[in-house]
Amino acid sequence: MQPVDVARSLSAQWPCREVQTQQLATLFNPHLPSSPTLVVHGISATCKSTIIRGVLSTLEVPHAVVRSSECITGRHLLTKILWNTLEALGQKDEWEKFGKGRCEHVSSLAVLLEECLATRTPEKRGKFVLVLDEIDRQREAPPTLLSALARLGEIIPSLCVVLVLSSTPRPMFLQNTAVPHISFPPYTRKEAIDILLASPVPTVEGLPDESSYHIYPHFVSTVYDTLIGPTVGSIPTFRAICQRLWPQFVAPVVQGESAPGGGTDWDFARLVVKNRVLFRHQGESALVHRIVPEESAASSKTIRTQFAPKAASSALPHLPYFSTLILTSAYLASHTPQRLDTIFFSKFSSSSLSARNKRAHHRRRLKVLSQAQAEERQAANDPSTPNKKGKRSKTRITKSTLSSAFATSSATTSATGGGGGITGPSTILTARPFPLERLLAVYHAVDPNPPANPIHTPAVSDQIYAELATLRRLRLVVPASGHHGGASMGSGNTSADAGEKWCVNVSGDWIGELAKGIGVEVGEWLAGGLD
Amino acid sequence: MDPDGLEEALDLSRDRSQYQGVYIYQPAKPGKSANEPPKKRRKVSSTGAQDPKSDSQQFIPLLNGEESAEGVQQRLNTYKQLWSEQEQKIQGILEDVDAGVLTDVLSFVRETSPQTCNGCIPTALVTVGSNVSSLSRLLSRLNDHLTSSGEGGVVVLESGDATNLKNSLKNVIRAAVTNTEGNDGYQKFLTDRAGPRVLGYDLDLLNDYVQRKGTKKLVIALRDSEAFDPALLTDLLSLFQSWLDRIPFTILLGISTSVELFETRLPRSCVSLLQGKHFEVQDAGNCVDRIYEALQTNPNGKLWIGRNITSTLFERASDYFQTPEAFSRMVKYACMSHFFANPLSALLGDSKRPELFQGRFIEAIRNLPSFRMYCEDLVEAGSPMEVRNLLENDRHLLEEVFNHLEIGQQRMRDIFQAVTLIHACLQHTQGTKKSTVSDLSVRALAGELGESQVVDDMLATVRAMDSEKLEGVLATLPAALSNDSTLAELKTDFGTLLETRPDQELLRSEYNINSSVTKTTVVQQRIQLSKGKANLSGQDLEYTKIIDRLVAALQEYFTEILIRPQELFMHEAFLFDLRNPLKDNFAPRPRFAIERAMGSPFDYLISSSDADQSQAKISAKQPAAAILYQLYLESGALVNVHDLWQAFLAIFESEEGNKCDERIVMALFYGALSDLKMFGMVKNASRKKADHLAKSAWLGL
C-alpha cells in the first residue's frame, strides 16, 4: 500500500493529519528498511498515538505499544516492553526462555529483545516496531534511559523504536545524530473547525434540520474564536463545549420565540445577539472543569437564575466550637508578628484606653505595611523587575515603603484582599509558622468564654492536641515544613515535636466568618484588621 | 558509693534503657544474663471453660467486699442485657441515618460509567462534616451490597497507607483481592498466575483479577482525601484514568471540609480527571440527638442518665469533633460505671429473691439520702409507725423498695413522655429557635421544665392550633394521658365536632392569629390599634372550648408529671448522675499532671520525713528531673546551661556540704536534662548560642 493510500484511508476518520500520516507510512513501509529510531512529538490531544497505531495496523507491520504512563518505575517499563513484545510476536507462552520474564536493565533488554526477534519463523522475519508512548513522562526514569532506548534500534537491525513525546525535544537530546523527527503541531483554526464540522451536528429536538445546517458552522467558528482559540483549547474540550452550548444557543428557535426584527425566522446574527450572555457566562464556566458539573439547564428560561449565587448547600463546613476557636487562634498566631504579641494578646493591658490606642496604632501601621508588601509583590511579578526572593522585608517599616504605601493606600484598600485568595482581607500577606505553645497562649487570650476560675479549670491544652490532630487531618492547619523540606508532608507522620512549628492553611475570610459564629471578632486581634 | 546504690540514686531501672539519654555503663556480669529476652509465652487458647470465671471477676464485690456473689453476678448480667438492647437500638439508628445516602451512592456507583462522565473517572464526593466515622459505616455497607450482588467491591485507601505511589498501588491491589478471596486467596492469586512473576504494584494484577471475577464496579474509596499528598493523589488518579478502559474504577472521596476547598487544593490537571456527584451525610449532632432520645424515652427503660451526664455528653458533642460512636461509647461507659460501682443497681435485675439483698445491702439502703427524705416525709405525714417498720423490718423495707422502684421508673417514663409531647408540639411553632429533645431533657431531669417558659410556649402553640394539627397531636398523646377520663371525653367531643362541620374546612380557635382582627381607628389624628375578635362561627366557638379544656388538662398533667427526679425514693438505683468518672476518663489532663508531678513531686512520692512534704522549697531529696524543672521555671526563654548547672549544684552543696561528689551530681544533672528534653520542654537554642537552651513549654497553658 502506498503512503498516499494509507493517508487517504485514515483521513476519513482522523482528518487534517495527512502529512504526518504519509511521513509515518513512508517510514514504516514494510518493504523498505526504516530508520532505527523515530521521534514523534506534539502536545497532548494532537492525535499522535492514534495515527501511529492506525498507520501500523493499516500497513500490517508487527508492533508493540507500551504506555509509559502506566509504568511505575524504570524497571517496570523494561519488563513491560519485553512482555508486550513477546505478546505481539505470539511468544507469550515461552516467556521462561527469555530471562524468565524478568528484565532489570536496558542492556539485558537489548539482549532479550534480540533473542526473541531472532526466534521468529523466517517468513515472519521483517520489521518490528516498538512504540513507547509518552516516554518523556516516565516515572523514576534513569537519566540515560531515553538515549539508551534510542540505541536499541541500532543494536537490533529489525527493530524500529518510536519515541512519542508530548513536549518539544531539545536538540540532540538522544545524544545521537540524524534521528528523524515528526512533529504533530496543534490544529489550526481552520483544521479544528473542519474536524468539528466533519462530525454530525448534535441533534436538538424540534429544530429543523435545514436551519441547523445553516447555523451550526457559524456557531462552531464563533465558539472557536471566543473560547477555544484564546485559551489554546484542545479538540475534546472544543467538542464538549459545542455540544453543551448548542442546545441553549438554538433554544429561542426551538421554543418559537419571536425574533427581534419581528417574525419567527432567526438567523445566526440574531441568535448571537440574543445569546451574548450565554457566551460570557456559560462559556467561561465551561472552560473550567469542575468535579461536580453544574446542572445544565433543562430549559434556557432558567439561564438567568443560574447566574444567581448558588444555594447554601455548598456552604463552607461548620466546625465544632472548640475546633473553631483553635483554628482562629492558629490563624491569628500565623498572621501576627511575634514581637507584637505582648501588645495584642497580653491580658494586662487589655482594658486601658492607652493600650487600645496602642493596638489600633499598630494595626494601622501593619495594614499600611501589608499594602506596601502587596505593591512590592505586584512589582516583583512584573517581569521587568528582577525578583528578589529571600530578601523580603520583615516587619521593618522603612520610610520609603511607608511613603509609597500612603501614596496609594486609598486606592488599594480592596485590592489587597482580592489578590491572593490565601490571605485574609488585609493582613501581613503570608501565613507564618508558629510554635504550639504560642497557639496555646493566643488561644487563652482570644477565648470569648474564659473559665471563671482559671486555677480550677486548667489545661485545655490536652484537649487542644486532639483537636489539632483532627484539624491537621483536614489540612486546615499543617506542620510548617521549613527546614525539614518536604519530608513532613508524609501523612503518616503525626508526631508533634515540641519545637515543631505549625502553619494555618486556609483563607482568612472563611475563618473570620466561622469566628464570628462563636463570638470572636478576628479583626479586633489582627494586625491591620479593623479600619 | 557502691554501684547498686549509685544506680538507685540515679533511678536507673532497666525498662528505662530505651529512651535514657544518660546512664552509667555496667558491663554485664558473666553467668547472669538479665537482658536475655524472656521466654516466649506459649499461646494459651482461651477455652470456653475459662470464660465464666473471668466473667465473674470483671465485677468485684462491693459493700466492703460483703456483697454476695449472686448480687455481683446479677449486676453484671443486668448490665449486659441492658446494654445489648441499647446497642441494638443505636445500631438501628445509625443504619437508618445512613440509609438515604447509601442508596444514593449505590445507585450512583451502579449507573455511572466512564462513558457517562465524558471519559473522566466517575467520582462520588461524600462530605461528612464532623461526622467522620459515618463514612466507614457507609463504605462497609456499600461493600456488602456490591460483594453480595457480585458486582465488585470497595477498596478503602487511607492516607496512612499511601506514603508513595508504589505502596498505595500495592495496598489497593491487595485490598481488592483480599476483599473477596481472603488473605490466602491473595497469596494464591500471586503464585497461581500463568506467566512471569508480576511486581506487586502492577495494575496488570488488578486487571487480571477483574477479568477473572467479572467485576463491574471497583470502588476506590479515599477516606480522608484531604490528608493525601496532592502530588501523590494526582499520580494515582492519572494512573487509574489510563487504566479506566480495562478496570472499571469508581472513586469515592471522603471530604470533611467542603468540595470547593478540596478542589482548590488539587492541581487543575487532577481535577480534570474527575467528574461526578456530591453527596452529603447527615450531621453528627442530629444523629446524637436521636440516639439520646431513643435511649431515654424507651418505654421499657430501666436506667436513666441524669442531668449532669447529659449536659457533659452534649457539651462534648457540640464542642469537639465527635462521632456518634464515640457518643455511644461514653453512654456505655456511664452505664457500666453505674453497674460496676453501685450495689443498688442489682435491684434492677430480674431476680427479686430477698436472699440476694441482705445484711449490708439493707443497711446501705437505710443510709440513702432519698430514704432519709422519704422517712421525713412519712413522719410529717403522720405515720411514724411506718417509719419504724421500715427501719426495723428488713422484709417490709425490701417490699417497699421494690414498690418504689416500680413507681419511680414509671415516673421517669412519664417524664420523658411529657418531654416528647412538648417536643412534638413545639415542632408546630413558627419560631426559628427550636429546643431539641436534649435541651428539654436536661431541664426535665433538673426538675425545671414544669415552670419554664418552654411549657408556656408549648401551651400557646396548642391554643393556636387549627383542627387538623390538633388531630395529629391528639393521636400522639401518651397513653397515660389519653386514658384519662376527661381527655377521652374531650376526644369524643372533638370527633363529633369534626363530623358535624359542614365542609372540610379547618376549625380555628379564637387564639389563632387568623381569628383576631386588628382594627385601625383614627381619633384626632392619632391612630389607635385595637384588636378584636373576628366573628367566629358557632363551631369555632365550640372548638375553642375544646382547646381550653385540652390546655387545662395538659397543664394539670405537666404539673403532676414534671417533678424533680432527685426527689423520688430509690432514685439512686435507676438514675445515674455522677459526672466525675466520665469526665476524667474522656477528657484526661496529662499535661497538668506532668506539670504538677514535676513542680511538687511529693504530691505523688512518699517521703521519708514529713518536713519534705511541708516545705515547698526545692531540695536535694526530690528527683533530679523535678529539681531541674523547678529551676527551669525560674528562667526566661533562653537559659545558659552553665548557669543552670551551677544552680543545680548549689542545691546539692547546700544540703550535703563538702561530702557532695560533683561527678555524681553532674551525672544526675545530665540525666535530668535528658528527661526534660524527652518531655519536650527544652531544646537546643540556635546555632549562634550553642551554650544555651531554649524553653519550649510554659507553665499554666
**Complete DSSP assignment for B282-331:** PPHHHHHHHHHHHHHS-TT---EE-HHHHHHHHHHHHHS---HHHHHHHH
- Is residue B255 domain-shared with residue B136, that is, in the same domain? yes
- Is residue A432 domain-shared with residue A347, that is, in the same domain? yes
pLDDT tens digit sequence for B527-546 = 666 655 556 667 777 778 88
Choose among B349, B339, B344: nearest CA to B361: B344
Instruction: Provide, as residue numbers in chain B, all residues whose Cβ is less than 8 Å from the Cβ of A73.
Output: 166
- Half-sphere exposure of A139 toward its Cβ, with a 13 Å CA cutoff? 16
Stretch among A163-167, A344-348, A395-399, B281-285 having the lowest mean pLDDT: A395-399
pLDDT tens digit sequence for B112-140 = 887 887 778 888 888 876 666 778 888 88
- Is residue B116 domain-shared with residue B237, that is, in the same domain? yes
What pLDDT score was predicted for residue B56? 53
Split at pLDDT 50, 70, 90, the class of A131 is very high
Contacts for A55 with CB less than 8 Å, ≥ 6 apart: A6, A10, A21, A24, A25, A28
Q: Say if the Cβ atoms of B694 and A72 lie within 8 Å.
A: no
What pLDDT score was predicted for residue A65? 92
- Is residue A307 domain-shared with residue A268, that is, in the same domain? yes
Report percent pLDDT > 70 for chain B. Answer: 81
Tell me if residue B640 falls in helix, strand or coil: strand
- Is residue A204 domain-shared with residue A353, that is, in the same domain? no
Count of CB atoms within 10 A of residue A388's CB?
Answer: 9
Instruction: Provide, as residue numbers in chain A, all residues whose Cβ is less than 8 Å from the Cβ of B318.
Output: 320-321
Instruction: Provide, as residue numbers in chain B, all residues whose Cβ is less than 8 Å from the Cβ of A458.
Output: 589, 592, 700
Closest residue to B242, CB basis, from A67, A236, A463: A67
B197 touches chain A (CB under 8 A): yes
pLDDT tens digit sequence for A72-84 = 888 889 988 988 8
- Is residue B155 domain-shared with residue B262, that is, in the same domain? yes
Stretch among A123-137, B26-40, B89-103, B530-544 having the lowest mean pLDDT: B26-40
- Is residue A512 domain-shared with residue A371, that is, in the same domain? yes
Report percent pLDDT > 70 for chain A. Answer: 72
- Is residue B525 domain-shared with residue B466, that is, in the same domain? yes
Per DSSP, which regions of B470-551 are E strands?
516-523, 526-533
Rounded Cα gap, residues B481 and B420, in angstroms: 13
pTM of the model: 0.71
Count of CB atoms within 10 A of residue A54's CB?
Answer: 20
- Is residue A255 domain-shared with residue A274, that is, in the same domain? yes
- Is residue A294 domain-shared with residue A176, that is, in the same domain? no
Q: Which of B256, B282, B308 is the last residue of a domain?
A: B282
What pLDDT score was predicted for residue A353? 56
- Is residue B630 domain-shared with residue B679, that is, in the same domain? yes
B589 touches chain A (CB under 8 A): yes
Choose among A349, A237, A338: nearest CA to A285: A237
Closest residue to B129, CB basis, from A318, A461, A476: A318
Q: Say if the Cβ atoms of B257 and A95 lie within 8 Å.
A: no
Q: Say if the Cβ atoms of A440 and B701 lie within 8 Å.
A: yes
Q: Which of A183, A200, A218 is the last residue of a domain?
A: A183
Q: Which of A162, A183, A204 is the last residue of a domain?
A: A183
Helix, strand, coil share of chain A (percent; to 5):
55, 5, 40
Stretch among A232-246, A298-312, B363-377, B446-460 having the lowest mean pLDDT: A298-312
- Cell, residue A455: 486555677
In A, residues 70-99, which contact B (CB 8 Å cutoff)?
A: 70, 72-73, 75-76, 79, 83, 92, 95-96
Rounded Cα gap, residues B456 and B559, in angstroms: 12
Question: Going by DSSP bridges, is the β-strand pair A159-165/A37-41 parallel, antiparallel, or unpaired?
Answer: parallel
Choose among A160, A193, A198: nearest CA to A179: A160
Q: Say if the Cβ atoms of A474 and B239 lie within 8 Å.
A: no
Higher pLDDT, A387 or A444: A444
CA distances from A185 to A40, A241, B68, B529 (A): 11, 22, 92, 82
- Is residue A179 domain-shared with residue A262, that is, in the same domain? no
Query: Nearest-CA distance from A234 to chain B in Å?
Result: 13
| Closest A-chain CA to B270 | A291
Closest residue to A498, CB basis, from B275, B318, B696: B696
A320 touches chain B (CB under 8 A): yes
In B, residues 511-550, which contact A (CB 8 Å cutoff)?
A: none
- Is residue A114 domain-shared with residue A245, that is, in the same domain? no
Query: Nearest-CA distance from B222 to chain A in Å?
Result: 13
- Is residue A169 domain-shared with residue A250, that is, in the same domain? no
The CATH number covering residue B152 comes to: 3.40.50.300
Stretch among A148-157, A460-469, B368-377 having the lowest mean pLDDT: A460-469
pLDDT(B60) > 50 = yes
What pLDDT score was predicted for residue A236? 82
pLDDT(A337) > 70 = yes
Q: Which domain holds residue B680?
A: 590-695
Count of CB atoms within 10 A of residue B363's CB?
Answer: 12
Tell me if residue A234 falls in helix, strand or coil: coil
Q: Is residue A280 part of a domain?
A: yes
End-to-end CA distance of chain B: 42
Q: Say if the Cβ atoms of A321 and B319 lie within 8 Å.
A: yes
Rounded Cα gap, residues B217 and B239, in angstroms: 17
Rounded Cα gap, residues B307 and B445, in angstroms: 5
> Do the beta carbons of residue B672 and residue B625 sit within 8 Å?
yes
B118 touches chain A (CB under 8 A): yes
Chain-centroid distance, C-alpha A320? 32
Backbone angles phi, psi at B91, to 5 degrees: -60, -45
Instruction: Provide, as residue numbers in chain A, all residues whose Cβ is less than 8 Å from the Cβ of B696.
Output: 435, 437, 498-499
Report percent pLDDT > 90 for chain B. Answer: 1
Closest residue to A291, CB basis, from B162, B263, B318: B263
Rounded Cα gap, residues A108 and A115, in angstroms: 11
DSSP B130: T
Closest residue to A102, CB basis, from B196, B257, B259: B196
Split at pLDDT 50, 70, 90, the class of A15 is confident
- Residues B156-171: what's their mean pLDDT? 86
> Do the beta carbons of residue A344 and residue A525 sit within 8 Å?
yes
Stretch among A139-148, B458-467, B570-579 having the lowest mean pLDDT: B458-467
A312 touches chain B (CB under 8 A): no
Q: Is residue B380 part of a domain?
A: no
Instruction: Provide, as residue numbers in chain A, all residues whose Cβ is less than 8 Å from the Cβ of B320.
Output: 320, 322-323, 463, 466-467
Split at pLDDT 50, 70, 90, the class of A394 is very low
CA distances from A219 to A248, A263, A509, B182 (A): 12, 22, 41, 57
Specify whether the backbone of A100 is left (phi greater than 0), alpha (psi in -120 to 50) or beta. left
Higher pLDDT, B242 or A380: B242
Domains contained in chain B, number? 3
DSSP A266: -
Query: Nearest-CA distance from B670 to chain A in Å?
Result: 19
What pLDDT score was predicted for residue B2? 45
Average pLDDT taken over every residue of chain A: 73
Closest residue to A435, CB basis, from B195, B588, B696: B696
DSSP B466: B
Q: Which of B545, B561, B577 is the last residue of a domain?
A: B561
Stretch among A262-276, A331-345, B18-32, B647-661 having the lowest mean pLDDT: B18-32
State the sign of the Cα–Cα–Cα–Cα dihedral B189, B190, B193, B199.
positive
Stretch among A390-394, A407-411, B95-99, B590-594 having the lowest mean pLDDT: A407-411
Any idea what the Cα angle at residue B33 is, between residues B27 and B34, rounded to 5°? 90
B229 touches chain A (CB under 8 A): yes
B276 touches chain A (CB under 8 A): yes
- Is residue B151 domain-shared with residue B250, that is, in the same domain? yes
Q: Which residue has the cell 506539670?
A: B595
Q: Which of A289, A313, A337 is the last residue of a domain?
A: A313
> Do the beta carbons of residue A416 and residue A370 sit within 8 Å?
yes
Any idea what the Cα angle at residue B404 is, between residues B400 and B405, rounded to 5°? 115
- Is residue B462 domain-shared with residue B533, that is, in the same domain? yes
Domains contained in chain A, number? 3
- Is residue B173 domain-shared with residue B216, that is, in the same domain? yes
Higher pLDDT, B50 or A298: B50
Query: Nearest-CA distance from A441 to chain B in Å?
Result: 7
- Is residue A284 domain-shared with residue A366, that is, in the same domain? no
Rounded Cα gap, residues B218 and B155, in angstroms: 7
What pLDDT score was predicted for residue A64? 92
- Residues B582-588: what's their mean pLDDT? 77
| Closest A-chain CA to B231 | A489
Q: How many residue pairs bridge chain A and chain B with CB atoms within 8 Å of each other?
A: 161
B285 touches chain A (CB under 8 A): no
- Cell, residue B621: 531529696
- Is residue A54 domain-shared with residue A179, that is, in the same domain? yes
Any idea what the Cα angle at residue B492 is, between residues B487 and B495, rounded to 5°? 125
> Do the beta carbons of residue B285 and residue B315 sit within 8 Å?
no
- Is residue B626 domain-shared with residue B512, that is, in the same domain? no
B192 touches chain A (CB under 8 A): no
Split at pLDDT 50, 70, 90, the class of A358 is low
- Is residue A232 domain-shared with residue A92, that is, in the same domain? no
DSSP A245: H
What pLDDT score was predicted for residue A379? 58
Helix, strand, coil share of chain B (percent; to 5):
60, 10, 30
Q: Where are the alpha helices (DSSP H) in B533-680?
A: 538-561, 571-574, 580-586, 590-599, 610-614, 624-634, 641-656, 662-679
Closest residue to B226, CB basis, from A240, A475, A499: A475
Rounded Cα gap, residues B219 and B162, in angstroms: 17
What pLDDT score was predicted for residue A132? 92
- Cell, residue B234: 494526582
Specify whether the backbone of A87 is left (phi greater than 0), alpha (psi in -120 to 50) or beta. alpha
pLDDT tens digit sequence for B318-358 = 777 777 888 888 889 888 888 888 888 888 887 777 777 77
Rounded Cα gap, residues B527 and B501, in angstroms: 39
Choose among B331, B374, B406, B367: nearest CA to B576: B331
Rounded Cα gap, residues A347 and B530, in angstroms: 55
B314 touches chain A (CB under 8 A): no
Query: Nearest-CA distance from A367 to chain B in Å?
Result: 27
Report percent pLDDT > 90 for chain A. Answer: 4
Closest residue to A441, CB basis, from B165, B199, B701: B701
- Cell, residue B429: 411553632
Q: Is residue A531 part of a domain?
A: no
* Count of residues in chain A: 531
- Is residue B555 domain-shared with residue B638, that is, in the same domain? no
- H or E segment to which residue A63 belongs: strand A63-67
pLDDT(B492) > 60 = yes
- Is residue B265 domain-shared with residue B118, that is, in the same domain? yes
pLDDT(B442) > 60 = yes
Q: Say if the Cβ atoms of A444 and B701 lie within 8 Å.
A: yes
Most confident of A60-69, A518-527, B280-289: A60-69
pLDDT(B73) > 70 = yes
pLDDT tens digit sequence for B616-642 = 567 777 888 888 888 888 888 888 889
- Residues B416-421: what's their mean pLDDT? 84
Q: Which domain holds residue A333?
A: 321-381+395-486+493-525
Higher pLDDT, B167 or A250: B167
Tell me if residue A265 falls in helix, strand or coil: coil
Q: Is residue A387 part of a domain?
A: no
Q: Is residue A459 part of a domain?
A: yes
Q: Is residue A446 part of a domain?
A: yes
What string of DSSP letters covers A412-481? STTHHHHHHSSS-SSS-SS---EEHHHHHHHHHHH-SS--SSTTTS---HHHHHHHHHHHHHTTSEEE--
CA distances from B470 to B490, B496, B507, B551 (A): 12, 14, 10, 12
Tell me if residue A502 falls in helix, strand or coil: strand
Closest residue to B226, CB basis, from A236, A474, A497: A474
| Closest A-chain CA to B128 | A317
Choose among B397, B389, B339: nearest CA to B368: B397
Strand partners, A160: A129
- Is residue B543 domain-shared with residue B672, that is, in the same domain? no
In B, residues 232-261, which contact A (CB 8 Å cutoff)?
A: 235, 238-239, 242-243, 256-261
Higher pLDDT, B80 or A409: B80
Rounded Cα gap, residues B481 and B487, in angstroms: 7
What pLDDT score was predicted for residue B506? 67
End-to-end CA distance of chain A: 79
> Do the beta carbons of residue B153 and residue B143 sit within 8 Å?
yes
What pLDDT score was predicted for residue A40? 92
Strand partners, A64: A130
Q: Say if the Cβ atoms of A70 and B243 lie within 8 Å.
A: yes
> Do the beta carbons of residue B179 and residue B155 sit within 8 Å?
yes
Closest residue to A459, CB basis, from B123, B261, B592: B592
What pLDDT score was predicted for residue A373? 63
Rounded Cα gap, residues B256 and A473, in angstroms: 9
Q: Which of B227, B258, B282 is the last residue of a domain?
A: B282
Average pLDDT taken over every residue of chain B: 79
Instruction: Provide, as residue numbers in chain A, all residues whose Cβ is less than 8 Å from the Cβ of B119.
Output: 236
> Do the beta carbons of residue A1 and residue A180 sit within 8 Å?
no
Q: What is the ipTM of this complex?
A: 0.75
Contacts for B256 with CB less than 8 Å, ≥ 6 apart: A317, A473, A474, B127, B128, B129, B130, B132, B224, B226
Rounded Cα gap, residues B668 and B666, in angstroms: 5
Q: Is residue A429 part of a domain?
A: yes
